[in-house]
Amino acid sequence: MRLNIDDEITLFNQKSGEWLAKIKNVKKNMVSAKIIKKISSPVSVSNISLLFSPIKYLNSESIIRQSTEIGIRNIYPTFFQRTVIKKINQSKFEHYAIGAAQQCGRTSIPNIKPLKKLENQIDLISKSNVLMFDENLQGNQINKINSINESNKDIIVIIGPEGGFEDSERSLISKNSLTHNNVSLGESILKADTAVIAALTLTFHYFSLK
């Protein structure tokens, strides 16, 4: 739909919330608008982030959109040894996140970071409580987890590639995490994109500080 002068739109960001505005000028790469009134105040961002292995195009799109709707704070695309996708289109990921935020009424956009190798995420992992959803290990039920650092409650949900984690990756993650828990998603082996949404739903239910 093409917008014109004097059409009303809504503008939002994490700092100032959501506002009703009227378009005053439209140029090729810029739109200016006049604020009419405030619609809603900003909502605090969750303490939960996602570190995942990118997968096929439509599946990665689904992960970005649905994790945005659930309320994720940061998204860290990460290259594991069994990751099939060699590169990502970060601008498309950001576009998916913006669209999902608009659709669900969220007034913030998750920070989507550049693709990095797992070994380059050690500094991030060392400052976070890690919930690792690994179907090849006997994980704990999430309601029985209590080892979350009281002084830093930032949580990273880690979902590996479609082929699973290598033992060396399991070791690297467990040894370098602020706290580390392997969590069960039940007896079924889930598709990677299904596992992401299931893991985030459980994590937000039990650990979100929003």
Tens digits of residue pLDDT in 137-182: 778 889 888 778 888 999 999 999 988 899 999 999 999 999 999 9
Task: Report the C-alpha gap between 52 and 2 in whole angstroms.
Answer: 36
Range from 45-54, 63-72, 184-193 carrying the lowest mean pLDDT: 184-193
Range of the domain at 55: 48-207
Task: Report the C-alpha gap between 46 and 205 in whole angstroms.
Answer: 12
Are 89 and 152 in the same domain? yes
Tens digits of residue pLDDT in 79-122: 999 999 989 999 999 999 999 998 887 888 899 999 999 999 99
Q: Which amino acid type is present at position 99?
A: G
Q: Does 69 map to a domain? A: yes
CATH number of the domain residue 172 falls in: 3.40.1280.10
SS3 10: strand
Are 122 and 157 in the same domain? yes
Q: Does 3 map to a domain? A: no
Q: Cα-flanking dihedrals φ and ψ of residue 195, to 5°?
A: -60, -40
Domain count, the chain: 2
pLDDT of 135 strictly over 70? yes
Per-residue pLDDT band at 129 (split at 50, 70, 90): very high
Q: Which residue has the higher pLDDT, 181 or 37?
A: 181
Are 89 and 162 in the same domain? yes
- pLDDT score at 5: 81
**Residue whose token pair is 């009419």:** 36
Q: Does 203 map to a domain? A: yes
Q: Does 133 map to a domain? A: yes
Angle at 69 between CA 187 and CA 184, to 5 degrees: 15
Q: Does 70 map to a domain? A: yes
Are 36 and 61 in the same domain? no
